[in-house]
Structure 1
Amino acid sequence: MASIDAVLQKIDDNQPAALQRLFALLEIPSISTDAAYAPQCARAAAWLAAELTGLGFEASVRETAGRPMVVGRAKASHRDAPHVLFYGHYDVQPVDPLSLWNTDPFKPEIQDGRRIVGRGASDDKGQLMTFVEACRAFRETGGLPCDVTVLFEGEEETGSPSLPDFIAANRDELRADLALVCDTGMWDAETPSITTMLRGLVLEEIVVRAADRDLHSGAYGGAAVNPIHVVSRIVADLHDADGRVTLPGFYDGVDELPAAVAEQWRALPFDEGDFLRGVGLSVPAGERGRSVLEKIWARPTCDVNGITGGYAGVGSKTVLPAVASAKVSFRLVGRQDPAKVAAAFRAFVRARLPADCAVEFIPHGASPALQLPFSSEALTRARRALHAEWGREPVMGGSGGSIPIVGTFKQDLKMDSLMIGFALDDDRVHSPNEKYEVTSFHKGARSWARVLDALAK
Structure 2
Amino acid sequence: MNYESYFQQLREQHLEQLKQFLTIPSISALSEHKQDMNEAAQWVAQKLKEAGMDIVEVHPTSGHPIVYAEHLHAPGKPTVLIYGHYDVQPVDPLHLWETPPFEPTIRGGKLYARGATDDKGQLFLHIKAVEALLRQEGELPVNVKFCIEGEEEISSPSLPAFMKTNEEKLATDVVVISDTSLLEKGKPAISTGLRGLCSLEVAIQTANTDLHSGTYGGGVPNALHALIELLASLHDDKGRITVEGFYEGVPELSAAMREEFAKQQFNEEKLQNHLGLDALYGEEGYTFVERTGARPTLELNGVYGGFQGEGTKTVIPKEAHAKITCRLVGSQDPVATLERISAHLHTHVPTGAKLTVTPGEKARAFNMDPSHPVLQTAADAYEEVYGTRALFTKDGGSIPIVETFSRVLSAPVVMMGFGLPDENLHAPNEHFNLENFDKGLLTIVAFLKRL
Fold match (TM-score > 0.5): yes
Can you list the C-alpha shifts for 1:352-393, whole angstroms capped at 9, x where unaligned?
235544322111222222122334332233223322332223
Aligned partner of 1:3 in structure 2 is none
Distance in 2 (CA, whole Å) between partners of 1:315 and 1:100 is 31
Q: Is residue 2:205 matched to residue 1:205? A: no
Aligned to 2:304, the other structure's residue is in SS state: strand
Q: Is residue 2:441 matched to residue 1:445? A: yes
Aligned partner of 2:163 in structure 1 is 167
Q: Is residue 2:143 matched to residue 1:150? A: no
Q: Is residue 2:76 matched to residue 1:83? A: no
Q: Is residue 2:283 matched to residue 1:290? A: no
Which of 27, 35, 58 does residue 61 from structure 1 map onto? 58
Q: Is residue 2:10 matched to residue 1:31? A: no
Which residue identity is paired with 1:57? Answer: D
Q: Is residue 2:187 matched to residue 1:191? A: yes
Q: Which moved more, 1:99-108 or 1:320-329?
A: 99-108
Distance in 2 (CA, whole Å) between partners of 1:192 and 1:61 is 33
Contact 1:72 1:149 in 2 (8 A): yes
With over 3 angstroms needed to count, the CA separation of the structure-2 counterparts of 1:411 and 1:320, relative to structure 1, is farther
List aligned pairs for 1:154-303, cutoff 5 A. Answer: 154-157=150-153, 160=156, 162-217=158-213, 220-303=216-299
How many Å apart are 1:57 and its aligned residue?
Answer: 2.9
Which residue identity is paired with 1:130? Answer: L
Aligned partner of 2:122 in structure 1 is 127
How many Å apart are 1:95 and its aligned residue?
Answer: 6.9
Contact 1:11 1:133 in 2 (8 A): no
Where does the alignment leave 5 or more consecutive residues of structure 2 unmatched? none
Where does the alignment leave 5 or more consecutive residues of structure 1 unmatched? 1-5
Aligned to 2:327, the other structure's residue is in SS state: strand
Contact 2:211 2:315 in 1 (8 A): yes
Which residue identity is paired with 2:277? Answer: L
List aligned pairs for 1:365-380, cutoff 5 A. Answer: 365-380=361-376
Aligned to 1:365, the other structure's residue is in SS state: strand
Distance in 2 (CA, whole Å) between partners of 1:241 and 1:151 is 46
Contact 2:59 2:67 in 1 (8 A): yes
Which of 5, 17, 41 does residue 10 from structure 2 map onto? 17
How many Å apart are 1:144 and its aligned residue?
Answer: 2.2
Aligned to 1:27, the other structure's residue is in SS state: helix
Aligned to 2:10, the other structure's residue is in SS state: helix
Contact 1:30 1:92 in 2 (8 A): no
Taking structure 2 as the reference length, what is the TM-score of the superposition? 0.86
Which of 54, 67, 70 does residue 67 from structure 2 map onto? 70
Distance in 1 (CA, whole Å) between partners of 2:114 and 2:36 is 14
Distance in 1 (CA, whole Å) between partners of 2:116 and 2:308 is 44
List aligned pairs for 1:384-423, cutoff 5 A. Answer: 384-423=380-419
Aligned to 1:339, the other structure's residue is in SS state: helix
Aligned partner of 1:382 in structure 2 is 378
Can you list the C-alpha shifts for 1:291-347, whole angstroms capped at 9, x where unaligned?
111121111111222333444445545544433333222211111111222121122
Aligned partner of 1:333 in structure 2 is 329
With over 3 angstroms needed to count, the CA separation of the structure-2 counterparts of 1:338 and 1:220, relative to structure 1, is same
Distance in 1 (CA, whole Å) between partners of 2:117 and 2:167 is 29
Q: Which moved more, 1:317-326 or 1:426-435?
A: 426-435
Distance in 2 (CA, whole Å) between partners of 1:389 and 1:346 is 49
Contact 2:91 2:101 in 1 (8 A): no
Contact 1:25 1:44 in 2 (8 A): no
Which residue identity is paired with 1:26? Answer: K
Can you list the C-alpha shifts for 1:206-226, whole angstroms capped at 9, x where unaligned?
223334444455555545444
With over 3 angstroms needed to count, the CA separation of the structure-2 counterparts of 1:46 and 1:215, relative to structure 1, is closer
How many Å apart are 1:193 and its aligned residue?
Answer: 1.0
With over 3 angstroms needed to count, the CA separation of the structure-2 counterparts of 1:44 and 1:359, relative to structure 1, is closer
With over 3 angstroms needed to count, the CA separation of the structure-2 counterparts of 1:128 and 1:233, relative to structure 1, is same
Contact 1:32 1:157 in 2 (8 A): no
Root-mean-square deviation (CA, aligned residues, Å) is 3.2
Aligned to 2:137, the other structure's residue is in SS state: coil
Can you list the C-alpha shifts for 1:380-434, whole angstroms capped at 9, x where unaligned?
3322332233222312222222123314324544444211111123445456665
Contact 1:199 1:331 in 2 (8 A): yes
Contact 1:67 1:154 in 2 (8 A): yes
Q: Which moved more, 1:120-129 or 1:361-370?
A: 120-129
Contact 2:18 2:124 in 1 (8 A): no
Distance in 1 (CA, whole Å) between partners of 2:435 and 2:406 is 31
With over 3 angstroms needed to count, the CA separation of the structure-2 counterparts of 1:143 and 1:258, relative to structure 1, is farther
Q: What percentage of residue pairs aligned between the two structures are identical?
A: 36
Number of aligned positions between the proteins = 445
With over 3 angstroms needed to count, the CA separation of the structure-2 counterparts of 1:401 and 1:148, relative to structure 1, is same
Distance in 2 (CA, whole Å) between partners of 1:283 and 1:361 is 32
Distance in 1 (CA, whole Å) between partners of 2:306 and 2:97 is 40
Taking structure 1 as the reference length, what is the TM-score of the superposition? 0.85
Which residue identity is paired with 1:359? Answer: L
Aligned to 1:359, the other structure's residue is in SS state: strand
Can you list the C-alpha shifts for 1:1-53, whole angstroms capped at 9, x where unaligned?
xxxxx4xx235324322541342242242211377766665454444334433
Distance in 2 (CA, whole Å) between partners of 1:186 and 1:166 is 30
Aligned to 1:53, the other structure's residue is in SS state: helix
